[in-house]
Structure 1
Amino acid sequence: MPSQKNFLPSNSPLLPAVAHFLLGLGEELKDTLVIVPTAQSGRQLRQQLPLIAGRPVLAPAVTTADVLYAPQADSNAANKMQWWNAWSETLRSYTDSQLEDLFPQLEGIKRDFNWGLNAAQRFCKLKDEITVVDHSFSSVAAIADVDKERWERLASIDKDVKAFLAKHGLRCPAEAKRYAAENWQAPDKVKRLVLACTPDLPALAIKALQNSNIPIEVLVHANEDLAEHFDQWGQPDTAYWNSCPIPLPSPQQECIKLHSSGHDSSEALIKDLSKYASDQVTLAVTDQAFSTLVSDSIEQAGWPCFDPDGRLVSKSGLWAFLKQLRQCLAHSNSFQHVQSLLKAPEARYLLKSIQSPASIARRIDTLFQRSLPQNFDHAIHCADETLAPVLEELQAWLSTRSDDASRFLEKLFDRIERSPDFPTELIDPFLEGIETIKQLEFHKQRLNYHHALELIMASCEGVKIHAERAGTVIDQLGWLEIPYAEQAHLHIVGFHETCVPERPHNDGFLPESLRKKLNLYSREQLTARDSYLLHSIIEARKDLGSTHFYLSQTAPNGEERQASRLLIRCDEEQLPARVQHCFREDIENKKRLPAYSEGGWKLTLQHGLKWPEEKNLSISPSKLTNFLRCPFRFYLQYVEDFQRSDFDSQEMDAMQFGNLVHDVLELYGKDPQTRDLINTEEIEQAFTDLLNTLFIQRYGHTSNLPLIIQKESALNRLKAFAPEQALMREEGWQIKHVELAIGTKEKEILWNFDETPIKMRIDRIDVNQHNGSWRVIDYKTSTKVKKPQEEHLENVRATDDPHHIYGELLPPASSRARAEQRWKNLQLPLYAEFVRQHFQLEYLPEIAYVAFPAAASGTGLQAWSTYDENVHDCAMQWVSQCITAIRQSKFPIRELPSNMRSWDNFADLSPTDLASAFDLTPAS
């Protein structure tokens, strides 16, 4: 039925004008179907009608244009999962040669479930896209200038897909849409249809309207003198709207605000918003890269923000949990994804054996750090009595394959749906997905558990979670929702090129030239639509409000941005000034100050930079090393308990690798049958046997490639040491103690220095059977050879002040060096002092490293030949003064050189100096 256009004056807000028009229909309103641009537009219109009428109004049916071609309930249209499955099965049934038009390089590619699903999603999306403009693969092939063979191949495959669906009593959903449009009739009791300012109707919707059996009123938000620039359905004419000037409010310096970064734009926005009451403001974000930044900034300023479009479920924590579960199902014997799975909140609902989620999270982290489990059996063997039942239950969940996939998913849904974080919006789509899996199984298509879950997740990932609007002060709209916003003052953040005008997504099948032929949302069409919308929203606020654009030269992720071309659509005499303003290069790049500089908070030290009286002080060589590096960082680590851990490693870290080598040497030194071996081959074999046994105990019989490589590296280093061990034994050196523990629970050897307990473990103590001399050895596994003197002493730095000096300095390292030396490590001197005292020696023992570097040629003894009583006395003075400084709570910050930054676990606390991030008020 012919349509009638009605023009709503452009100098007044659109929403009240549409409401007035509808209310003017009187009693006919209840029998009217209203088509609006977006779902949010519909919500706004329904709220506006009773406000304008001043009384309750029986609202008309308000919906979006896709209702005009939605398949009927009895059409037997396949859902997304069924459609994808049909495409996937059909594609995978073809030979490589049959698909070479679509996939030129299939050789060597595994055409498995994932390949089929990804290809199916791509082609279904492509068909959906061309269907909306009333085209099929065949019709596109008929008019395509290039890639004609590809479109013909798609048409052929599509025919087979339809046959596949027909066997299961289903119909292609795209064809069902075309059929619905061709046969659209207004629902019963609907006597009139109103197109309420919908400037981008799909061709399929227009086809349905052309077949309408009821009057159609077309509303256009424009002055009537522009009538010739719209078609009968209110769609803007591309020739006019792609060239007409867009009159921006003046002065343009106040209208267009250009900043160097999104943070600066947000600050300017908040400053401007504070001038108005919240019900006078419309906020829109047209560049989604700025969405989170803007909403966070607004809320921090005290304006709770609401996104009417909702949040994708695929961005939720639940989705991350399902991804981990899918990976665990796909690799049920692996342990790689179990850690993240068990730490997710949903895990407590999946597994009944989890009683304390926090405790399980700590225990699983500890297990990963200690044992690097490669599979469930190994993990359960190494787990404690609390974690083991959880792992056993999870293993049963992942390894059971007796149920059909649909039954497994029902059990899964029954568990995780109890989680308070499970969104209600996901319940129906998830259950519909399970029903679809059942139908596939009924037709003898058996799916693996992880494939079935992946199929459901793919069908649900577009579901949006809508938060409660209660307490909201301001809505954060998208570009297409702005016209229906009635507030007088409009603020648009991110009015950038490629965002407005919107750029069609890149698709190798649909170049711009073909899009134009198909009338398929080409750049030309989108530019015309967005030009008209910009003109409309500016004109609506020209007299009674304002429009502001906030541009940034960079996005929050660092990508460059440019002003939209629509902002420079103006007369020639205005163009130079407009371009100069929108693309200025002299924008001040404000440095982002750290958060603490804004005032209001700093990190507070629990004990106020004072060693707590209730905390017993004990010293170890590693503690002293950290104190000498930086006393303040020492305080953060040992008093405030600032720790950094890595839980995601699939291989041994440096400490674990070193411990493995140490433990082999410990077992070797404790066994009377091996420690006195003098034959190199026998020593090598002993090292090999001990390493194999230890490795299996810790990492299981089945290990990943990185662990296997590390094991071989450890074995090569041990074998390289075998000749050195044989030589030391030949020279008379006998192992007296290995891994001698001082001040630890498992041993009763106690030792105090300056009335302070010392805790340490000495790798090895030898006694020479020929001359009675003693030697203390510390094993060092590292990339390069480490020498004792270089590891214990360093030059005094220019930045060191008296607070960093804890005793006498030593002479320069050589005649060429100028700087005196200070201690940076007191490990071997402490070992020497203990051995002399404990074993009542008259003289100092020798001290040395045994180096185990990556290059086998460097393996061997590294003795500190110049270490004497004078050097030792200096070292003990430093130990004593360090202990005194700790007891007196003297923790000055020491600047770290660049070669120590990798050790600094606290650098990320502040982008400037570390002290600025803390409230260092002296403790009372």
Structure 2
Amino acid sequence: MVPPPGVAQIVVAGVTDVKPVLVKRWESLAVPVRVLVGGPEGCGVDEWGRPREDDWAARELPWPDGDAGSVQVAADPRQQAEMVVGAVAARGEASSEVAIGAADEEVAGELVRAFGRRGGELFDPAGTASELGLARWFGIWRRWLAEPRLAAVADLLGRSETGVLVKGKRAQKARALCALRDEALADRARDVRKLLEGEMVRERDRESVGELATALEALEKWRDQFLAQGFVRSMERLVPILARTSERTADEAGVILEFVEEVREVAGRLNRDAGFWIEVMLASLPEKRAAAPDGRVADVVGWLELAFEPGRHLVVAGMNEGMVPARPSGEPWLSESGRRQLGLTTDALRAARDAFLFASLCAARRDGGRVDVVCGKTSAGGDALLPSRLLLAAGRGDLPARVTSLFREVEPPDAGLQWEADWKWEPPARPGPERMHVTGFGDYLACPTRFYLKQVVGMQRREVDRNEWNARDFGNVAHEVLERWGRDPEARDYSKTKAIGEWVEAEMETILEERFGGERPLAVAIQVESLRQRLWWFARKQACQRAEGWEVAEVEKRIAIEIGGMAVSGKVDRIDRHKDGRWRVLDYKTGKVKNAEGAHRVKVTGATRLPGHLEGDERLYALSADAKGREVRKVWRNLQLPMYAAGVAEMDGTPEVGYFLLGATEAGVGVESWSGFTAADRDSAMQCAELVVEKVQAGVFGPPAGRVEYDDFAELGMGRPLGEMVVTA
């Protein structure tokens, strides 16, 4: 640090946080350095404008009260912001006479929102910084360079800059990628290509998956070239292409290329990979800050900047320990004495500085001004906070009153208030369905709103970041194995456990090869062993069924019924025929089911609460006899098996119905029949189906049920009942 020629003196004004190492440098200069600071009388600073530790550690600090100000305690950051708004409004001064400060970033954000709710725009310079759009893109690109996984591709497709690399249609490709990651656990580009070569991709999706495969090939090519050509050359080729995205991107590209030019020479000498230089670039690029709006009421000023605010009315929030004074530096290996010897700022120096600033802020407003201080009890996350030690710097006579004020109980801001949503989800308006699937009736009986979101709007929860099967995946693979077994005339006629077990195990391996090739995630490999065990249990139970005279007659039989003008379709997993002429309809289940009838209807008791959209219609009920022959009233909640029975009406008589369970234990595998199922049960279920069709055709998709057994839309409720967060018809 050498002063320019002709400089006779250096003047530093308003700086109270001079680092000791800088003081040593100033002392070695050939010209004098003069430091000017403003503060109260006898301000206790050294010749370099630094508050003396011993002086300020023992000082009593002011406590604003009466006309001079106030000290308030709030429950959380939001209540702190409301108190600041109240303090500013009560004084009623021009905004030029008001200084608003926040020592806590959480409170600063709440201040902006609190003033905004009242029509005043508050500007927070510290809270508006954001990285360049291209910087975010290169952050994702770095992940793709490090490991070419589809999770990085999903994020790349979410950025507009990627469009020029994959020839557009980003949304369609992202949708196809999301489906493959969810349904097939695709993790790499080769997984997508393998799925496309096989039969797992549906015919209607082949075009979009093909376009996705082409896009992945393009991104892989760019990756290979980037890694091969090195950082500088690759950036000079790639950045101008990305700059075509928009005018904003073009401006940002110029900043990035300036960095590339600056590191050209050193990048050529250092043997570092492209990911290293991208990381350096991201750390070096300037933050993008929004310009202060012209019509703002005021600015939210940080603690250290408040000394330069001229407003006669000062309101400062976030006066909590850890904010004022700020938290220790946090290097466990560097002690206070070590920092002092190295010429770094110590915690004691920082505490003295903040005590000096607080005293100065109050002294500057003692003649006609006002200081309102707000501190919080808890953070936004619920962590307990302590008031700043500066507020407890008092003599023995005043300290008890300060402690009582600062540590008093504070009523939560929402106490006594009824919760009300600021806004609600509004699903797109769609006409009711022209056709329904058999399984959709159970969805509607459980909740009409969730039925609408799932069956009409087509909303579906995706789990793209998992590396294991969910319950749906496990069930789908088991169903596919047993479907292929049932379609093979020879295999389905096997009567020995060994023959059945070996066939279904081999077919399971074939299906897994189609889905994963030779590489299976570890979690899936463990789940495969569970499925293998269940299939062998199935083989044993199936051999017993064969010995009892049951034969598989048909699998995956499609049914079509018309109810009230509504076309209803379904697919029966399995139809068996007995040697004595009986028939039965079976549905495979890998989940937990107590019994077939209990999965479809339950006894009405005094505690039974019917869904609001179905109350008052007798078609919702069925009558059946209990174990003692007494008539019992039951309410339908699922119609699947009875509707299957109605769909195979060409068979002689009423078929038996039930589940073939594939449970997690051997005892949980086997046929679970609906004992005593009759034509009357089937007809009662069909009457309930007529009720559902009438409601659907009338557009009745609300109110939503409070609770359902499996809720795919719990996230929409955000912890509240769905009816409080979703607009329903």
2:540 maps to amino acid: P
Confirm whether residue 302 of structure 1 aligns to residue 119 of structure 2.
Answer: yes
Cα distance in 2, alignment partners of residues 558 and 432 from structure 1: 42
Q: Deviations over 1:328-377 (max 9, x none)?
A: 22223x4343322322334225x2x2412322222221222232213211
What is the Cα deviation at residue 219 of structure 1? 1.3
Q: Deviations over 1:717-737 (max 9, x none)?
A: 212211222233343433232
Native 8 Å contact 1:410 1:434 kept in 2: no
Confirm whether residue 502 of structure 1 aligns to residue 326 of structure 2.
Answer: yes
2:326 maps to amino acid: E
What is the Cα deviation at residue 244 of structure 1? 1.3
Partner residue of 1:581 out of 392, 405, 417: 405
Partner residue of 2:684 out of 874, 877, 899: 874
What is the Cα deviation at residue 519 of structure 1? 5.1
2:233 maps to amino acid: R
Partner residue of 1:780 out of 589, 614, 620: 589
Native 8 Å contact 1:258 1:551 kept in 2: yes
Native 8 Å contact 1:304 1:471 kept in 2: no
SS at match of 1:715: helix
Confirm whether residue 266 of structure 1 aligns to residue 81 of structure 2.
Answer: yes
1:328 maps to amino acid: W
The corresponding residue for 1:677 is 494
Confirm whether residue 469 of structure 1 aligns to residue 292 of structure 2.
Answer: yes
What is the Cα deviation at residue 636 of structure 1? 4.3
The corresponding residue for 2:158 is 343
The corresponding residue for 2:717 is 909
Confirm whether residue 230 of structure 1 aligns to residue 45 of structure 2.
Answer: yes
Native 8 Å contact 1:739 1:762 kept in 2: yes
Partner residue of 2:344 out of 497, 509, 520: 520
Confirm whether residue 541 of structure 1 aligns to residue 354 of structure 2.
Answer: no
Partner residue of 1:389 out of 194, 197, 214: 214
Partner residue of 2:516 out of 699, 705, 726: 699
- Give matches, 1:486-635, under 5 Å: 486-518=310-342, 520-591=344-415, 596-597=420-421, 601-604=423-426, 607=429, 614-635=431-452
Cα distance in 2, alignment partners of residues 642 and 268 from structure 1: 42
What is the Cα deviation at residue 629 of structure 1? 1.2
Cα distance in 1, alignment partners of residues 469 and 441 from structure 2: 25
- Comparing 614-623 with 841-850, greater Cα deviation is found at 614-623
Partner residue of 2:599 out of 765, 788, 791: 791
Cα distance in 2, alignment partners of residues 854 and 344 from structure 1: 43
Would the alpha carbon gap of residues 244 and 506 (structure 1) be closer, same or farther in structure 2, given more than 3 Å must change? same
Would the alpha carbon gap of residues 448 and 527 (structure 1) be closer, same or farther in structure 2, given more than 3 Å must change? same
The corresponding residue for 1:439 is 266
Native 8 Å contact 2:68 2:371 kept in 1: no
Cα distance in 1, alignment partners of residues 216 and 420 from structure 2: 43
Cα distance in 1, alignment partners of residues 231 and 630 from structure 2: 73
Native 8 Å contact 2:243 2:253 kept in 1: no
Native 8 Å contact 1:618 1:758 kept in 2: yes
SS at match of 2:375: strand
Partner residue of 1:291 out of 86, 108, 116: 108
Cα distance in 2, alignment partners of residues 821 and 561 from structure 1: 55
Gaps of 5+ in 1: 1-183, 743-749
Would the alpha carbon gap of residues 902 and 671 (structure 1) be closer, same or farther in structure 2, given more than 3 Å must change? closer
Would the alpha carbon gap of residues 216 and 516 (structure 1) be closer, same or farther in structure 2, given more than 3 Å must change? closer
Would the alpha carbon gap of residues 683 and 621 (structure 1) be closer, same or farther in structure 2, given more than 3 Å must change? same
The corresponding residue for 1:250 is 65
Cα distance in 1, alignment partners of residues 93 and 458 from structure 2: 47
What is the Cα deviation at residue 767 of structure 1? 2.1
Cα distance in 1, alignment partners of residues 416 and 291 from structure 2: 33
Q: Deviations over 1:231-261 (max 9, x none)?
A: 1111111111122122232229952221111
Partner residue of 1:402 out of 224, 228, 245: 228
Q: TM-score, normalised by structure 2?
A: 0.88
Aligned length: 707
The corresponding residue for 2:635 is 822
Partner residue of 2:54 out of 235, 239, 246: 239
What is the Cα deviation at residue 759 of structure 1? 1.9
Native 8 Å contact 1:823 1:875 kept in 2: yes
1:879 maps to amino acid: A
The corresponding residue for 1:688 is 505
Tell which has more relative contact order, 1 or 2 (C-alpha 8 A, sep 6+).
2
Native 8 Å contact 2:321 2:387 kept in 1: yes
Cα distance in 1, alignment partners of residues 238 and 371 from structure 2: 50
Q: Deviations over 1:247-297 (max 9, x none)?
A: 232229952221111121222223334434433332222112333333333
Taking only the aligned residue pairs, the percentage that are identical comes to 27
The corresponding residue for 2:146 is 330
Partner residue of 2:467 out of 650, 653, 657: 650
What is the Cα deviation at residue 500 of structure 1? 0.4
Native 8 Å contact 1:799 1:895 kept in 2: no
What is the Cα deviation at residue 476 of structure 1? 2.1
- Comparing 688-697 with 426-435, greater Cα deviation is found at 426-435
What is the Cα deviation at residue 453 of structure 1? 2.8
- Comparing 431-440 with 847-856, greater Cα deviation is found at 431-440
Cα distance in 2, alignment partners of residues 264 and 423 from structure 1: 43
Gaps of 5+ in 2: 197-208
What is the Cα deviation at residue 566 of structure 1? 0.4
Partner residue of 2:668 out of 847, 852, 858: 858
What is the Cα deviation at residue 215 of structure 1? 4.5
SS at match of 2:315: strand
Would the alpha carbon gap of residues 499 and 561 (structure 1) be closer, same or farther in structure 2, given more than 3 Å must change? same
Would the alpha carbon gap of residues 396 and 812 (structure 1) be closer, same or farther in structure 2, given more than 3 Å must change? farther
1:723 maps to amino acid: R
1:470 maps to amino acid: P
The corresponding residue for 2:621 is 808
The corresponding residue for 2:648 is 835
Native 8 Å contact 2:63 2:71 kept in 1: no
SS at match of 2:125: coil
SS at match of 2:275: helix
SS at match of 2:554: strand
Partner residue of 2:187 out of 358, 361, 374: 374
What is the Cα deviation at residue 556 of structure 1? 1.0
Cα distance in 2, alignment partners of residues 497 and 656 from structure 1: 51
The corresponding residue for 1:887 is 697
Cα distance in 2, alignment partners of residues 234 and 549 from structure 1: 26
Would the alpha carbon gap of residues 709 and 431 (structure 1) be closer, same or farther in structure 2, given more than 3 Å must change? farther
- Give matches, 1:416-455, under 5 Å: 416=242, 428=255, 431-432=258-259, 435-436=262-263, 439-442=266-269, 445-455=270-280
SS at match of 1:506: coil
Would the alpha carbon gap of residues 244 and 557 (structure 1) be closer, same or farther in structure 2, given more than 3 Å must change? same
Would the alpha carbon gap of residues 208 and 907 (structure 1) be closer, same or farther in structure 2, given more than 3 Å must change? closer
Cα distance in 2, alignment partners of residues 214 and 531 from structure 1: 31
Would the alpha carbon gap of residues 192 and 593 (structure 1) be closer, same or farther in structure 2, given more than 3 Å must change? farther
SS at match of 2:483: helix
Cα distance in 2, alignment partners of residues 487 and 656 from structure 1: 64
Native 8 Å contact 1:374 1:702 kept in 2: no
1:822 maps to amino acid: V
SS at match of 2:693: helix
Q: Deviations over 1:598-652 (max 9, x none)?
A: 6xx5445655xxxx6x544322232211111123433444445554333322222
Q: TM-score, normalised by structure 1?
A: 0.71
Would the alpha carbon gap of residues 365 and 479 (structure 1) be closer, same or farther in structure 2, given more than 3 Å must change? same
The corresponding residue for 2:204 is none
Q: Deviations over 1:687-710 (max 9, x none)?
A: 122212222222333221122222
- Comparing 797-806 with 626-635, greater Cα deviation is found at 797-806
1:893 maps to amino acid: P
- Comparing 580-589 with 417-426, greater Cα deviation is found at 417-426
Native 8 Å contact 1:785 1:858 kept in 2: no
SS at match of 2:160: coil
